[in-house]
């Protein structure tokens, strides 16, 4: 199954700037491009890292991430740390445990500067939306909340978070969570999560940072990845398109 050829359309339905997501997006792109296409532009992180479980052997390296974390948090000897999802009362509480154990020395500013530099190279920043996978979602969310820093020349009109992680403030280092900040991402968002993802509380905590009325969620039932199954990729594509269409509808109402 190959993506539908982009040249069959003159103008894309939307243009999206993507952080750290390449090959796994191909089936989703295929379903999106059956109608009006959504044009994706990708950028990787700048920190080289070992392949995650399920990636090595399936994709060629090198592999990159946006910021370093304690390696015991990430994959250790090949098994992702499992969080006590049933014993902690809220996603925010679980994120505080994660932060205290593994994120004390994380600096996301270089990654934000990298993304800003890439955007500044684009002519007039042609992107309508922003998409982030895992750490990329964290960087995207921080840029969206950091409006006063003007890291984005033209603020995206919608955001897509896949297996997301909440944004991390630089000084002092700490996660921005719904119960420790009044700031919210107030544009249409799609939250793609997996019920078997050990980082599911992170995705839910990011969801809670967004305006509820315009935050859609789709659970593909898998782990910390973008699945290739037909029903899963169709569901992800529907959630993305619904978010883009919500932006289009809201934009038309305001014009």
d(CA 237, CA 233) in angstroms, rounded, equals 6
24-82 pLDDT, tens digit each: 467 888 888 887 788 888 887 888 887 766 566 667 778 888 887 654 444 333 334 44
The number of folded domains in the chain is 1
Q: Band of the pLDDT at 88, cuts 50, 70, 90?
A: low
d(CA 121, CA 74) in angstroms, rounded, equals 32
Tell me, yes or no, if 134 is annotated catalytic.
Answer: yes
pLDDT at position 24, please?
Answer: 47
By residue range, what is the domain housing residue 206?
6-254
In-domain check, residue 11? yes
Core vs surface per residue 201-212: b (16+ CB within 10 A) or e: bbbbbbbbbbee
pLDDT at position 231, please?
Answer: 92
Least confident of 97-101, 109-113, 127-131, 216-220: 97-101
Tell me, yes or no, if 224 is annotated catalytic.
Answer: yes
What CATH number is associated with residue 241?
A: 3.40.50.1820
145-162 pLDDT, tens digit each: 876 555 556 678 999 999
d(CA 84, CA 86) in angstroms, rounded, equals 6
Kindly name the residue from 138, 191, 197, 220 that is annotated as catalytic.
Answer: 197
In terms of pLDDT, which residue wins out, 239 or 118? 239
The three-point CA angle 195-241-226 to 5° equals: 35
d(CA 156, CA 215) in angstroms, rounded, equals 15
Q: Is the pLDDT of residue 85 over 60?
A: no
- Biggest CA–CA distance in the chain, Å, is 54
In-domain check, residue 12? yes
Q: Which of 219, 224, 213, 211 shows the shortest CA–CA distance to 236?
A: 219
Kindly name the residue from 25, 39, 134, 207 that is annotated as catalytic.
Answer: 134
Tell me, yes or no, if 182 is annotated catalytic.
Answer: no
Q: Is the pLDDT of residue 225 over 90?
A: no
58-72 pLDDT, tens digit each: 677 788 888 876 544
In-domain check, residue 172? yes
Whether the Cβ atoms of residue 241 and residue 216 lie closer than 8 Å to each other: no
């Amino acid at each position: 199954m190959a993506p539908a050829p982009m040249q069959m359309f003159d103008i894309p339905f939307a243009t999206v700037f993507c952080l750290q997501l390449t090959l796994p997006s191909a089936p989703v792109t295929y379903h999106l491009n059956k109608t009006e296409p959504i044009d994706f532009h990708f950028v990787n992180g700048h920190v080289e890292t070992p392949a995650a479980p399920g990636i090595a052997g399936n994709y060629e390296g090198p592999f990159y991430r946006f910021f370093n974390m304690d390696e015991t948090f990430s994959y250790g000897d090949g098994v992702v740390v499992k969080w006590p999802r049933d014993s902690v009362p809220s996603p925010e509480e679980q994120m505080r445990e994660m932060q205290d154990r593994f994120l004390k020395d994380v600096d996301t500013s270089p990654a934000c500067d990298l993304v800003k530099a890439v955007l500044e190279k684009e002519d007039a920043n042609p992107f309508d939306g922003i998409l982030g996978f895992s750490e990329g979602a964290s960087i995207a969310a921080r840029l969206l909340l950091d409006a006063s820093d003007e890291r984005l020349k033209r603020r995206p009109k919608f955001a897509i978070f896949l297996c997301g992680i909440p944004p991390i403030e630089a000084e002092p280092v700490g996660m921005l969570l719904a119960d420790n900040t009044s700031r919210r991402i107030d544009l249409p968002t799609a939250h793609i999560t997996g019920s078997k993802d050990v980082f599911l509380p992170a995705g839910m905590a990011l969801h809670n940072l967004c305006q509820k009325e315009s935050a859609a969620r789709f659970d593909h039932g898998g782990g910390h990845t973008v699945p290739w199954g037909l029903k899963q990729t169709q569901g992800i594509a529907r959630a993305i398109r619904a978010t883009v269409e919500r932006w289009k509808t809201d934009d038309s109402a305001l014009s």
